[in-house]
């Protein structure tokens, strides 16, 4: 039997609500996950993307990550990862740097054998514009009886609830069709809630994030312990001890102020919790700063105040509900509808993701112009080479 721990969406460095306490909470949750792996003496840990919360984590965040992974290294437990949409860079990835320390390995479309008879694969997060041109073909394992497990960081339906057109980016069935080999299981990241399903006889699941990254993520945070034997996989959730949230909604009428606020807050135990307070109704003399101070005075570790007072309620006509897309996702959706070349897609990815680009528009334009010229030179060079071969023939 081969035992693996599936960890995902750790978002190290995430200063949720601008709080260093929450950034430390993200790191502590990752530490807990690694401790579970060591205590269970697993054969390996798989991480399905968004190890870090951004493309540019700080040096202390990277250092702490490596120090945590050294606990696995000391226990002779390998750590296998893929790149998520949050921490994806243009060329070399943070996982490549961490690999140089000997504490992690980056999965690919070639099999990584674990426990003797489990072949693990990985495909990094794929942007919508690149989806249809991306090569998903996996190299078959030498042992045809090996259990094949693919790790991806993608929003796929199912198991994501709802229609593919709304929340998910693509269909799971399409992935299974495009890998080119028999797939025994698909472990996913990017969706922060634990979900599972079976698609074309393939078990598919999300482990969920290790910490709450939004108020809507109400389920207990967890990791998945996988036991693979005789061609099948059994999964068991291992819950993590994470900081509690206290969602509070306060409706104000004209003239309400501190008395109304205190009456509501006194109903909650905020000690050491994340207090998320939403204000609704009429605008009053009470400020968001007053609410923040009142929550912190009651022992909250972190307070977030969302002031919706005085806002007109819109009737969305029973449309879908969900988190607002971030700008990168909106741009990806727009570009996906255009017939752009690989060169154009790579330039778009560089402009949006290369932190090393100059800050001024003129300097960026100069660098991108060089990229275009290089692509043209390579294309014409290829054409000349093809012509020469035809003459030689």
List the catalytic residues.
86
Which two structure tokens, joined as six digits, stand for 150?
């693919």
The conformation of residue 12, written as its DSSP 8-state character, comes to B
Q: Is 4 helix (H, G, I), strand (E, B) or coil?
A: strand
- Determine phi and psi for 212, rounding to 5 degrees: -75, 120
Q: What would you measure as the largest C-alpha separation in the chain, in angstroms? A: 91
Distance CA 191, CA 189 (A): 6
Measure Cα distances from 344 to 3, 329, 347 in Å.
43, 17, 5
> For tokens 């994501």, what's the residue?
160
Distance CA 245, CA 220 (A): 11
Q: Which long-range contacts (CB under 8 A, 24 or more apart) does 168-174 make?
A: 169/128, 169/131, 170/131, 172/197, 172/199, 172/202, 172/204, 173/199, 173/200
Please provide the DSSP assignment of 354-374 as one string: -TTS-SSHHHHHHHHHHHHHH
């Amino acid at each position: 039997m081969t035992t693996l721990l599936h960890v995902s969406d750790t978002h190290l460095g995430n200063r949720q609500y601008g709080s260093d306490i929450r950034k430390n909470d993200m790191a502590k949750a990752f530490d807990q996950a690694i401790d579970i792996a060591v205590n269970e003496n697993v054969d390996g840990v798989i991480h399905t993307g968004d190890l870090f919360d951004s493309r540019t984590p700080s040096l202390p965040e990277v250092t702490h990550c490596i120090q945590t992974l050294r606990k696995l290294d000391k226990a002779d437990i390998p750590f296998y990862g893929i790149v998520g949409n949050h921490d994806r860079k243009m060329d070399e990835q943070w996982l490549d740097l961490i690999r140089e320390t000997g504490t992690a390995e980056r999965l690919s479309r070639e099999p990584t054998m674990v426990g003797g008879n489990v072949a693990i694969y990985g495909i990094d997060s794929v942007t919508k514009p690149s989806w249809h041109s991306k090569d998903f073909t996996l190299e078959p394992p030498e042992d045809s009886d090996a259990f094949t497990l693919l790790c991806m960081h993608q929003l796929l339906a199912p198991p994501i609830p709802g229609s593919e057109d709304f929340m998910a980016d693509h269909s799971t069935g399409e992935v299974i069709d495009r890998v080119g080999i028999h797939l025994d299981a698909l472990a996913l990241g990017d969706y922060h809630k634990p979900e599972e399903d079976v698609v074309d006889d393939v078990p598919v699941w999300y482990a969920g994030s290790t910490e709450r990254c939004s108020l809507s993520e109400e389920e207990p945070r967890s990791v998945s312990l996988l036991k693979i034997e005789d061609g099948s996989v059994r999964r068991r959730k291992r819950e993590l001890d994470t900081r509690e949230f206290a969602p509070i909604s306060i409706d104000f009428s004209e003239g309400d102020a501190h008395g109304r606020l205190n009456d509501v807050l006194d109903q909650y135990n905020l000690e050491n919790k994340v207090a998320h307070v939403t204000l609704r109704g009429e605008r009053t003399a009470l400020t968001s700063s007053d609410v923040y101070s009142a929550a912190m005075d009651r022992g909250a570790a972190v307070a977030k105040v969302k002031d919706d007072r005085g806002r007109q309620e819109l009737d969305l006509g029973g449309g879908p509900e969900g988190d607002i897309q971030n700008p990168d996702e909106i741009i990806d959706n727009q570009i996906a509808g255009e017939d752009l070349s690989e060169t154009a897609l790579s330039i778009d990815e560089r402009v949006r993701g290369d932190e090393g680009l100059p800050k001024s528009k003129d300097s960026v334009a100069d660098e991108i112009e060089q990229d275009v010229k290089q692509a043209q030179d390579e294309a014409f060079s290829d054409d000349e080479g093809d012509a020469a071969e035809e003459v030689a023939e």
